[in-house]
Amino acid sequence: MNQKLRLRSSLAAAALAATLAGSALAQTPPPAAAPAPAAPAPEPDWTFTGNVGLYSQYVFRGISQTNEKPALQGGFDLGHKSGFYVGTWASNISWLSDGNPDVSASLEWDFYGGYKWTLPADFVLDLGVLYYWYPGTYPSGYIKPNTTELYAALTWKWITGKYSYSVDDTFGFANSSGSDYWELNASYDVVEKVNDVIGKVTIFGHLGKQKFRNNGFYDYGDWKVGASTELWGVTVGIFGTGTDAEAAAYTNRFGKNTANNQFVAYVQKTF
């Protein structure tokens, strides 16, 4: 009889312990779920960027604009996520007064705007208008060099082809409306990052053909090849450039052929 009582007591105690354990487990909260990953920041509607650079000289389409002297350049760009953009850019120049001492114009100030479409297969189409303004004083009868160009560019990854068409007298050439410029540009990052000091290394090249309507003596082709790298957040680079232009067409009153082969070194900061 005592053994039966002890057995019943043991079974009752075991049942009570199991009940209490189940109750305790039921009251223990489940482990917290892992936090959901943060949602990516939405793309801003507008972006604003700027740049400033110091160049050993200003070369435009193969022609020195500063008589091989240094140039300070900079600009700003405002873009919308839809593809619309506007911008402005400026540089000191001397080519106008180097050609005619009665001209006083030491600044090129550009204004541009357009629209970019993202196309399949990594293509981007860019259509826009660019106005070159040369403020200054000019003698009576002088054709001002202010020029308006319409342009179309098609980019595939690191290669861009571009066509520019002038709708007025082009850079001061008489009766030159309809002049155009074809160009092919390539820019390729050969190294994404070297170390914490030296960033990506880029090589680039360019081929172009300038044609002046009713002024064929001044037509020419130009080329450029160079490299750049990021150093402490600043871009430094060097390139060689040249043309096949007639020397007599681009030799200024100081006897310098501004279309000759030349080198350009620069440092630029983008922000």
Where do the structural domains in the chain lie, given as residue ranges?
Answer: 46-270
pLDDT digits (tens, 9 = 90+) for 82-128: 999 999 999 999 999 999 999 999 999 999 999 999 999 999 999 99
Taking the whole predicted model, whether its pTM rises above 0.95 is answered as: no
Q: How far apart are CA 244 and CA 65, in angstroms?
A: 17
In degrees to the nearest 10, what's the CA dihedral of 8, 14, 19, 25? 180
Q: 214-254: per-residue pLDDT in tens?
A: 999 999 999 999 999 999 999 999 999 999 999 999 999 99
Query: What residues contact 17, with CB distance under 8 A and at least 6 apart?
Result: none
- Going by their DSSP bridges, the two strands 46-55 and 71-80 should be labelled as antiparallel
Asked if 146 contacts 134 with a C-beta cutoff of 8 angstroms, the reply is yes
85 and 115 Cβ atoms separated by less than 8 Å: yes
C-beta atoms surrounding 210 within 10 Å: 22
CATH class assigned to 46-270? mainly beta
